[in-house]
Amino acid sequence: MHGTVLHAPGDIRFEEREDPKILKPTDAILRITATCVCGSDLWPYRGVNQIKQPTPIGHEYVGVVEQVGADVRNVKPGQFVVGSFFASDNTCEICLAGYQSRCIQCELSCQGGAQSELIRIPLADGTLVATPEAPDAELIPSLLAASDVLGTGWFGAVAADAGPGKTVVVVGDGAVGLLAILASRELGAERIIAMSRHESRQALAREFGATDIVVERGDEGIARVKELTGGYGAHSVVEAVGTEASMAQAIGCTRPGGHLGFVGVPHGIEVSGGVLFNTELHWHGGPAPVRRFLPDLIDRIWRREINPGRVFDLTLPLAKVADAYRAMDERRAIKAMLVP
Ligand SMILES: [Zn+2]
């Protein structure tokens, strides 16, 4: 088979690799139907995270089960499935509490790199969710979005306690931020303020349910949000970037007693004890337990209630994966879908 391997910063190759095999009786092998490039893939691509050896990459996927190990019961060959970046048993106490991303048996489900033709998924019974039947082609982008960016944006909105009567601020206009807006709307938020200065992203933010757009950043952005919220700040804030500046922005936009949901992978963020203590916020975040939300998200997509696949504004053949990275690195694309 062929798969994507990151050799060095900026050096991404689609190359011949060994076919994955069942290693444990709880594994499954999937034939990838669609995969994509994540904002977090850009960290190693840009050399921010060190690459010690050529590394298979990609962690978002939908596909068809090709083979299962002897102990797999919940999915079978031929089924179309959605998974996410962490494999989880979905039976331990942590999973049952909804934190599958920290499952007691948790491992990365994407060590083989999902930007490939085939992938081995550990703990297949707990990790994969089958769709009712083979999906129509038009649903595939949305199902693919569910495997990470929708699930992550949804967790951000839940962690921020978005809901009826709430004003939500979303910091970050990448795919996760945009889908946190969609999630906030679905959860019933009254007002949703998107912080974005890119026109095409603002348009999608509005389509997903943003009621206000704030283009200012830093102290000016915080002042603008305060102005829009009667001087209080928002009840609920989703941080969907992971930089020090975006976290400071998110903290500054949350009212005392409010909820801050942070789902951007942190790079260089330090929060002092004084800030932790004095802001009086509810802090909740981390790697999203996407698996918790998958059945509900698949259901909403299946009934065509939501169309999160709108975040893909570029589709390329998987063999052109290097072009997809370039387009996202240069911010020419919000998110690139890859089809083998
Ligand atoms: Zn578990």
Fold (topology level) of 152-285: Rossmann fold (3.40.50)
Q: How far is the CA of 331 from the centre of ligand 1 (A)?
A: 36
Tokens of 283: 């802090």
CA torsion through residues 255, 259, 262, 267, sign? positive
Left, alpha or beta for 236 (phi > 0: left; psi -120 to 50: alpha)?
A: beta
Tokens of 143: 């199902």
Tokens of 240: 């969907």
CA distance 238 to 245: 14
pLDDT value at residue 49: 77
Tokens of 155: 């967790």
Q: How far is the CA of 94 from the centre of ligand 1 (A)?
A: 6
Give 133-178 pLDDT, tens digit per residue.
Answer: 999 999 999 999 999 999 999 999 999 999 999 999 999 999 999 9
Q: How far is the CA of 121 from the centre of ligand 1 (A)?
A: 15
Q: How far is the CA of 317 from the centre of ligand 1 (A)?
A: 35
In terms of pTM, does the model score above 0.85? yes
Determine the angle formed by the axes of helices 175-186 and 149-159, rounding to 10 degrees: 60
Mind listing the pLDDT tens digit of every residue in the chain (340 residues)?
Answer: 999 999 999 999 999 999 999 999 999 999 999 999 998 899 899 988 778 899 999 999 999 999 999 999 999 999 999 998 999 999 999 999 999 999 999 877 677 799 999 999 999 999 999 999 999 999 999 999 999 999 999 999 999 999 999 999 999 999 999 999 999 999 999 999 999 999 999 999 999 999 999 999 999 999 999 999 999 999 999 999 999 999 999 999 999 999 999 999 999 999 999 999 999 999 999 999 999 999 999 999 999 999 999 999 999 999 999 999 999 999 899 999 999 9
Tokens of 63: 């596909």
pLDDT value at residue 237: 98
pLDDT value at residue 109: 67
Q: Do domains 2-148+289-339 and 152-285 have the same CATH topology?
A: no
Question: Which is nearest to 84 in space by CA: 122, 134, 141, 140?
Answer: 122
Q: How far is the CA of 301 from the centre of ligand 1 (A)?
A: 26
Question: Which is nearest to 287 in space by CA: 93, 44, 100?
Answer: 100
Tell me the domain boundaries of the chain. Answer: 2-148+289-339, 152-285
Fold (topology level) of 2-148+289-339: Quinone Oxidoreductase; Chain A, domain 1 (3.90.180)
CA distance 124 to 119: 12
CA distance 36 to 116: 10
